[in-house]
Amino acid sequence: MVPCVIFEDEHLLVVAKPAGWNTHAPSPYAGEGIYDWLRHREPRWATLAIVHRLDKETSGILIFGKTTLANQSLTEQFARRRIHKKYLLLTDRAVPEIGFTVKSSLLRVGEKYASRPGGDLAETKFTPVADAKFTLNHSGLKMVKAEPLTGRTHQIRVHAAERGFPILGDTLYGGSASARIFLHAAEISFTHPATNAPMNLFAPVDFDRESRLALRSAIIGPEFTNAFRLIHGASDGWPGWFVEKLGDYLLSQAEMPLTAEQGGELSRLAKIYSSRGVYHKTLSRQVRRSMTAEVSPQRVLGEAAPERFEIMENGIRYEMSFHEGYSVGLFLDQRDNRRRLLSGHIAADFPLLQSAIGNRQSAILNTFAYTCGFSVCAAKSGARTTSLDLSKKYLEWGRRNFLLNGLDPAHHDFIYGDTFDWLRRLAKKGRAYDAIVLDPPTFSQSKENGVFRVEKNFGGLVTAALPLLKPGGVLLASTNAAEWAPEKFLASVDSAVSAAKRKILKQHYVPQPPDFPISRVESAYLKTAWVKIH
């Protein structure tokens, strides 16, 4: 289900990293790097270790160790220069016609590296590639093979620039501005740590492919998932504009009507993904004062979607609709969290449920359930679910999602009403759950409890839920309040747990998934804490 994996055995995991993705998270609350995303995805990857790195904008082969033996062996092979790597780069500057080697001492100078006395020895062999094929819209491009004989930070970039042919897109070292840094780790050769067999692995280069689409292809297996975000605002070069693939349709979202440029991009994406139709939704802060037809997505290209259609995510089917107002049926940024409920695996060394449960069916409560996406995944994994929401329409939608996946809604509970009111009532009835999902809207209002604002009232929501959580149970606490700092969000959870005289046994924080990329120009908004509580 992870297309970027190109080799795996007991000791090694080798992936083709797309450009635009860090090797590891640059800070605790930033987007996950490919290492973090993989390590917490599968139990067998829990012990992954980084043995080398690629820059964020460099694509290509990346090796992770899975065992102590692999880590030690690969580290030693790198140190003794027994691992041979080949890179390919593009440049729009003149390149010598024959191969040559650059050898210098590299020292950090500000945010860059440069050849300076007293630095670390770095040696790179360059060879022009005469028969290179690509169709990028740049004139006079040349491809060069680079073989680093040492492993210093930025060494290929520095040596290429200092020899007069900086890499296309590498503006830090004088390269012409472009969509990415056109450097690709194409091949790696080493000795297998356990068998001593020679290993030679390849990641074919495709400099013509857009980085943002390559990123999606690296993480999304189309046979299991056909719904994900294609354009995430400024992180993907389109400030204020968001586009999602929803099965056979594309959904565009912005605060303004489509521009001619956006319309052209939608037409192009529709051809790439063979979309039947394209819709646009104008984002508004006055949703509650608007009629359903006014806030529903409007068709702009192709065929009209039926009143209801299906998408698939991690093998689970969901009903969608462009005719029900502002929300179309599923929030795609929660895909990885739904997968955690489906697989029962939250993170490295963090299973969802206690092994002591044995054959007893687990019980999971999903508050603010909307169309019951979390509930469907939990039920598919064998849990008995309770879905609680203030909308009868959405609960009925949720029941249809159960039926789409061969689940009998009669074996699960669907409760209509105010969440705070029902948490009190369920506690009085002595109900207890192995896991509770708290993913409220940033703002809501009910007759029973008035106005709910997530920054002000989330701690109270946790407090109300804790009497229903079994000892050793797991709380999924999540919010999309963009202006609420992660530290303050986590503090509100911690404070509520402490005030209830309970103890946090384990906690795992995750931001939005990689197809919702976080950058300096498009900051993080989704925050999720999985919390195991005594």
Which residues are catalytic, by number? 55
Taking the C-alpha atoms of residue 179 and residue 136, their distance in angstroms, rounded to an integer, is 11
How many Cα neighbours within 13 Å face the side chain of 342?
Answer: 18
What angle, rounded to 10 degrees, do the helices at 486-499 and 454-465 form? 30
266 by DSSP, 3-state: which?
helix
Structure tokens at 351: 């299973």
C-alpha to C-alpha distance for 499 and 497, rounded to whole angstroms: 6
How many CA atoms, within 13 angstroms, populate the side-chain half-sphere of residue 40? Answer: 22
User: Among the residues of 405-525, which ranges form H helices?
Assistant: 419-428, 454-465, 486-499
Pair of tokens at residue 374? 């979390």
Give the separation between CA 297 and CA 304, rounded to whole angstroms.
11
Q: Which residues contact 298 (CB under 8 A, 6 or more apart)?
A: 279, 280, 281
Residues with Cβ < 8 Å from 434, sequence gap 6 or more? 353, 354, 357, 362, 363, 364, 383, 470, 473, 474
Query: Using CA atoms in the order 144, 145, 148, 153, what is the torsion angle rounded to 10 degrees?
Result: 50
Burial of 417 (0-12, 13-18, 19+ CB in 10 A): middle
